[in-house]
Amino acid sequence: MKTLILTLLITLFSIQTAMAQTTKEADPKDVATLDAIMKAVYDVISGDAGVPRDWNRFQSLFHKDARLIPAGKNAQTGVFGANALTPADYVKRAEPAFAKDGFHERELARHVDIYGNIAQVFSTYHAFRKSDDKTPFLRGINSFQLLNDGKRWWVVTIYWQAETPDNLIPKKYLKSKD
């Protein structure tokens, strides 16, 4: 019994150590300013089909309790809802799609509100399959909530909704406002 418990403890420690080694510390240039972390998020998820993303860099941008929350209408039921994901859940969900299809998400406009050490950013995006595409296949708004801990910026939440024919992006969100 003691051997079994010891084996389990060693296994758990090994898994924890391996997981800790796969998450690297953020590049200070990625998290020093609000602009930098916003650029880093868009940069790290963008790429051509089959091109691996730097998921360690991606994870380094997020607070330990962060969530990514896509919102949309269920095609079968017509009910509008949201699904909260951890950054690791997002990676599992996005990786197969990114392997199959290119995805280049670019910020089109930004609305920023800051109070103390927190920021709310409405970031209008458009997405392309290839970096040189001229026409986006998708647009929407990412609602970022960010925290500055005095040393760096952290993404706490990205809550987003894609544009649909019956829910167009309002004109006020197609031009930046700081």
Higher-confidence residue of 148 and 178: namely: 148
Domain residues of the chain, as ranges? Answer: 30-173
Domain 30-173 sits in CATH at 3.10.450.50
pLDDT tens, 15-74?
343 333 345 799 999 999 999 999 999 999 999 999 999 999 999 999 999 999 999 998
Average pLDDT for residues 110-120, to the nearest whole number? 98
Note the pLDDT tens digit of each residue in 152-166.
999 999 999 999 999
The string of DSSP letters for the chain reads -HHHHHHHHHHHHHHHHHHHHHSPPPPHHHHSSHHHHHHHHHHHH-B-TTPPP-HHHHHHTEEEEEEEEEEEE-TTT--EEE--B-HHHHHHHHHHHHHHS-BEEEEEEEEEEEETTEEEEEEEEEEESSTT-SS-SEEEEEEEEEEE-SS-EEEEEEEEEE-BTTBPPPGGGSS-B-
Model's pTM, two decimal places?
0.85
Query: In terms of residues, how long is the chain?
Result: 178
pLDDT tens sequence across 5-15 = 333 333 333 33
